[in-house]
Amino acid sequence: MRALNRRLKDLAAEGAEITVTNPGARHNTGVGIFHPCKINIEGSVGYYSASMIDGPEITIHGNAGWALGENMMSGKIVLTKDAGASVASTIRGGEVFVGGNVGARAGISMKGGALIVKGNSGFLTGFMMQKGRIIVCGDAGEAVGDSMYEGEIYVAGNVGSLGNDAVVEDASEDELLDVWATLERYGIAERPTFTKIVSGKKLYHMDSLERLEKAAI
């Protein structure tokens, strides 16, 4: 893996278009690539693949393990099949598109960017999400948007349950148009209606303060 990532970084620095064959579902495929480039991975990848990247467009023709695209700064990841838990965790920018289903904690602690899931997502989707947008075209599991700070989660199918301090808000027409336009970019022509979930903001502050804490404000 060390040799593969070194080679990917070197080629990416040249702005090359790269194809990786027989990735073998190995963990940490394509970590820390900081240059704009195109990478095609012909097969499934393991945990942390395409993580900590800044700039590249990576297409993976297969499945992915946990934490696909973790802490991406910018760029684009397209996964044709399913992803495990914590897909797009902590990303600060860029887009992650998953053609299949994703596991638990999708978009956990997202700080920007977008996660688009064509299928279903597991429990705790958008847990402690801070910014950005999650679009789930199928169903979302239990506790959607638990403890989220900001950002929006759109679910077209069934919402298992809302998480702590997550609330449903009406999506405006402009917002729906924007979501549909995003889906169109990934070849999804349907225009489903969505449940929009945002923070209720009740967890922003302590319920009460001590004398000195009050004095500090």
Partner 1 sequence: MVTDRSQVWSPWTIDDIHAKAELGRYRIRGFSTFQKVTHFDDLTFLSTGLTRFPLEGYKEKCNTRTVLGALNAENPLVIETPIYITGMSYGALSANAKTALGKAATMVGTASCTGDGGMLQAERAASEKLIYQVLPSRYGFNPHHLAQAQAVEIVVGQGAKPGTGGMLMGVKVLDEIAEMRDLPTGIDQRSPARHPDWLGPDDLAVKIEQLREATDWSVPIHVKLGACRVTDDVKLAAKAGADGIVIDSMVAGTGASAEVLLDHSGIPTVPAIVMAREALRELGLYRKVSLIASGGIRSGADAAKALALGADAVAIGIAALIALNCNKEIPESDFMSEVGVPAGSCHHCHTGKCPVGITTQDPELMKRLDPDEGAERVANFINSMTMEMALLTRSLGKGDVHSLEPEDLAALTIEASAMAQIPLVGTNKVFGT
Q: With binding defined as CB under 8 A, does residue 61 bind partner 1?
A: no
Give the shortest CB-168-to-partner 1 separation in angstroms: 20
Give the shortest CB-74-to-partner 1 separation in angstroms: 11
Q: With binding defined as CB under 8 A, does residue 204 bind partner 1?
A: yes
Residues 6+ apart with CB under 8 A from 173: none
- Cα separation, 106 vs 167, whole angstroms: 18
Give the interface size with partner 1 as a residue count (CB under 8 A): 48
Q: With binding defined as CB under 8 A, does residue 111 bind partner 1?
A: yes
Give the start-end residues of each E strand in the chain.
17-21, 38-42, 54-60, 74-79, 95-98, 111-117, 131-136, 152-155, 166-169, 195-199
Give the shortest CB-177-to-partner 1 separation in angstroms: 26
Give the shortest CB-175-to-partner 1 separation in angstroms: 20
Give the shortest CB-2-to-partner 1 separation in angstroms: 6
Q: With binding defined as CB under 8 A, does residue 152 bind partner 1?
A: no
Q: 20, 28, 83, 125: which one contacts partner 1 (CB under 8 A)?
A: 28
What are the start-end ranges of the H helices in the chain? 2-13, 173-185, 211-216
Q: 35, 47, 82, 135: which one contacts partner 1 (CB under 8 A)?
A: 47
Between residues 107 and 160, which has the closer beta carbon with respect to partner 1? 107
User: What is the Rg, in whole angstroms, of the alpha carbon atoms belonging to the chain?
Assistant: 18
Closest CA to 183 of 126, 115, 82, 111: 115
- Cα separation, 64 vs 33, whole angstroms: 18
C-beta of residue 143 within 8 angstroms of C-beta of residue 127: yes
Q: With binding defined as CB under 8 A, does residue 89 bind partner 1?
A: yes
Q: With binding defined as CB under 8 A, does residue 128 bind partner 1?
A: yes
Residues 6+ apart with CB under 8 A from 4: 20, 29
Residues that bind partner 1 (CB under 8 A): 1-2, 5-6, 27-28, 31-32, 34, 46-48, 51-54, 66-67, 70-71, 73, 86, 89-90, 92, 105, 108-109, 111-112, 127-128, 130-131, 149-150, 204-210, 212-213, 215-217
